[in-house]
Amino acid sequence: MRPRQGRPRLLQALLDAIRIPDLRRRILFTIGMLVVFRFVAHVPLPGVDAAALQELFQRNALLGMLDLFSGGAMRYFSVAAMGVYPYITSTIIMQLMTPIIPRLRALSQEGEAGRNKINQYTHWLTVPMAGLAGYGQIILLQREGVVTTTPGLPMAAMVLTMIAGTMFLVWLGELITEYGIGNGISIIIFGGIVAALPTMIGQGILTAEGGGLSGLAVYAFIAIATMAVIVIFTEAHRRIPVQYARSIFRGGRMYRQAGSTHIPLRVNTAGMIPLIFGMALVMFPGMVASYFAAPAGADPNFANTIMNLFDPRAALPMGLFYWGLYFALVLGFTFFYTMVIFGQQDLPGALQRQGGFIPGIRPGRHTSDYLNQVIKRITWGGALFLAGVAIVPFLMREITNIQIIQLSSMGLLIMVGVVLDTMKQMEAQLVMRRYEGFIK
């Protein structure tokens, strides 16, 4: 079944997938799990002052950005207020600890069984991470007069409920991976981000701050252009040619066989992890200072100065410090995380074990030096791309003067990445079923 003329490939692939009973069942199952997620996101925890919570979100940009990733769950302080981000944090910690801890490094080399064990450790680590994050959120809201829960059993019940909400969403994501269209955790995050966008866009149209409708049009143009650039850099890679030569015995005689392929080195190997690291560090001083800052109406102290310095909503020229530091941190973390991931892959060793070599490069140390040189060179493109995407929200705000639509760089990367990965999953499913929906 070839795509009809004039019909986009992605749309044709989706139509072909719907026609296949197994894929249609997987798509419907995924949609059903997302509906369950949206129901859970609107189940509030007890003891929350809804009016005070809404007022807090209006004057706190950080909470508004976190609410975007939870799909509105944090705005209602629901049982799913933390989303799956404690699990994401645990996954990143395990990735960084694997090359350092010998036991984890040995497990990573044991194939499927080792990966399952590391995944089990990740789930165990998610529980205390979710507990700490949930307790921190409750304490923060208590200081703002939003939560009236007293210490003791009520506090423990709220923390345990938030842990259960996070683990329930992780379970939903794994169900989508197994019985749906794959990438379950990413689809849960994607569903939360997309669910919050219509409300923000509607508010932006109604208020039409500053630049009016023309400002909204410019905002939309920048967002679309940014997504196009994200697609380009997400798919961009450098192909390293590889030759394979091996000897086989056949009929009592030795024959030599040769073949060629390539290693695709991605320009953006680090994904969105540098953005997470950079944002965590650049927001940390402001969060700590908020605990010691003088209340509104009182004389500001040093903590208030730190809060203003690390405020993402700060206008020029003070805003340059926050976003400039964010740009530099993302740039540095991109190189750091790329080299960590590249070192774990051990491509020179894998090539040598499989009898492969790069034409013109000697195996062993020379191959390692060559690949390290290539990955460092192309990572400059990925690092500048990620750092540029990181400050896009600031540029959009300054150009259009629109404050109410909080479209973050991580949100854009997640949305584009999930859509691309999902379409690749559907393509693989179609190819396995001998469909030609993606093949011309």
11-54 pLDDT per residue, tens:
666 677 777 788 888 888 989 999 998 888 888 887 777 777 77
CB atoms within 10 A of CB 181: 21
170-217 pLDDT per residue, tens:
999 999 988 888 778 888 888 877 777 777 666 666 665 444 567 677
Domain with 4 in it = 1-204+415-440
**Same domain for 181 and 273:** no
**Same domain for 31 and 79:** yes
195 belongs to a structural domain: yes
What predicted TM-score, i.e. pTM, was given to this entire model? Answer: 0.74
Where residue 221 falls among pLDDT bands split at 50, 70, 90? Answer: confident
**Same domain for 117 and 12:** yes
Question: Distance between CA 94 and CA 341 in Å, rounded?
Answer: 12
**Same domain for 215 and 197:** no
259-309 pLDDT per residue, tens:
677 888 888 888 877 887 887 788 778 777 776 777 666 677 777 788 778
408 belongs to a structural domain: no
51 belongs to a structural domain: yes
410 belongs to a structural domain: no
**Same domain for 169 and 228:** no
**Same domain for 392 and 292:** yes
**Same domain for 134 and 92:** yes
pLDDT at site 2: 44
Question: Distance between CA 241 and CA 129 in Å, rounded?
Answer: 43
**Same domain for 134 and 253:** no
409 belongs to a structural domain: no
**Same domain for 248 and 148:** no
**Same domain for 185 and 83:** yes
Find the CATH number of the domain harbouring 100. 1.10.3370.10
**What are the CA-CA distances from residue 393 to residues 109, 201, 218, 418, 421 (Å)?**
41, 15, 13, 20, 24
Checking DSSP bridges between strand 253-266 and strand 237-250, what pairing results, if any? antiparallel
Question: Distance between CA 343 and CA 99 in Å, rounded?
Answer: 9
**Same domain for 397 and 431:** no
365 belongs to a structural domain: yes
Q: How many domains does one find in the chain? A: 2
Say which residues have a Cβ less than 8 Å from residue 355's Cβ, sequence separation at least 6: 244, 245, 246
**Same domain for 147 and 220:** no
